[in-house]
């Protein structure tokens, strides 16, 4: 174990390509959950919470997601190598490096949470356990996409606790919306792996319901997500600006589902990323202008 860590540290010190590192953990996908955490932060603070708290919240998001993605790569190492879509990932970092990165990121997450407040610190191991658990779920349940949604849904709750130091209904309603949103778009994303998942004996909504049924479920989940965003606005007493910025969201989701129905994998991948990033940032703008 010590030799592996030493190997990992020496490789990082040699200047392992930043691009390889960011690609390995799909850092760009951090843009999905981050706007919902920041939006929850803005509403909880009734504006800007200060540079220190902002930095700590962003740090927690980055460290948690890096730990989660590294863990996912480790537990799926052999499976991903047999999947043509993901086989190139493991040429970017070696397994000991991924283990080191996962451990370091998890530790930094807990340390950063402890600098926010006591409740964040107490809940930080629970959050790490939850986001790690998702990576195991496709081995025994078709609801794996919902566990991914749950893993990302804790981000707005965590941001709210970081500001207020307690639980409340608004972030829980927002978390329900994020869960539905993530589960929906991950079902769309999983259509790319239906064949390999069946070959590997893995579980997912696409394997269970097949592509047409899974896409119908995804559309309903995105409908519930929209309802949750509206409910969040009402219970947190957002002004009209909040609702104005949400107007494009259903049209963006409709576009995503229209592309998904074509089953053209290159188009699905592009629409998946672009559409959901825009949805997240529209929500962030909505919370700012809804104050």
- At 233-242, the pLDDT tens digits run 999 999 999 9
Cβ count within 10 A of residue 133: 14
Domains and their CATH numbers in the chain:
31-289 (1.10.357.140)
* Residue 227 pLDDT > 50: yes
* Dist CA 290 CA 287 (whole Å): 5
Compute the average pLDDT of residues 283-288.
97
Indicate whether this model's pTM tops 0.85. yes
pLDDT band at 192 (very low <50, low <70, confident <90, very high): confident
The answer to whether the Cα torsion of 155, 143, 246, 215 is positive or negative is positive
* Dist CA 148 CA 130 (whole Å): 9
- At 41-65, the pLDDT tens digits run 999 999 999 999 999 999 999 999 9
Mean pLDDT, all residues of the chain: 88
- At 246-283, the pLDDT tens digits run 999 999 999 999 988 887 777 777 777 789 989 999 99
């Amino acid at each position: 174990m010590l030799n592996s860590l030493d190997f990992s540290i020496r490789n990082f010190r040699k200047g392992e390509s930043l691009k390889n590192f960011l690609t390995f953990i799909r850092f760009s996908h951090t843009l999905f959950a981050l706007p919902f955490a920041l939006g929850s932060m803005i509403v909880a603070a009734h504006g800007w919470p200060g540079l220190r708290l902002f930095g700590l919240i962003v740090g927690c998001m980055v460290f948690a997601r890096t730990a989660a993605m590294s863990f996912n790569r480790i537990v799926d190492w052999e499976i991903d190598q047999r999947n043509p879509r993901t086989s190139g990932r493991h040429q970017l970092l070696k397994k000991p490096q991924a283990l080191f990165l996962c451990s370091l990121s998890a530790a930094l997450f807990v340390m950063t949470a402890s600098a926010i407040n006591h409740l964040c610190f107490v809940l930080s191991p629970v959050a790490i356990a939850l986001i790690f658990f998702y990576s195991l779920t496709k081995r025994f349940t078709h609801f794996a996409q919902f566990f991914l949604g749950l893993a990302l849904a804790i981000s707005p709750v965590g941001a709210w606790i970081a500001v207020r130091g307690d639980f409340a209904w608004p972030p829980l309603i927002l978390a329900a919306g994020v869960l539905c949103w993530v589960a929906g778009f991950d079902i769309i994303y999983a259509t790319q792996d239906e064949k390999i998942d069946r070959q590997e004996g893995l579980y997912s909504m696409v394997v269970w319901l097949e592509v047409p049924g899974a896409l119908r479920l995804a559309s309903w989940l995105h409908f519930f997500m929209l309802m949750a965003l509206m409910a969040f606005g009402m219970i947190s007493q957002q002004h009209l600006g909040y609702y104005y910025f949400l107007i494009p969201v259903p049209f963006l989701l409709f576009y995503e589902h229209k592309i998904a129905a074509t089953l053209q994998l290159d188009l699905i991948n592009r629409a998946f990323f672009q559409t959901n990033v825009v949805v997240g940032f529209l929500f962030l703008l909505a919370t700012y202008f809804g104050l």
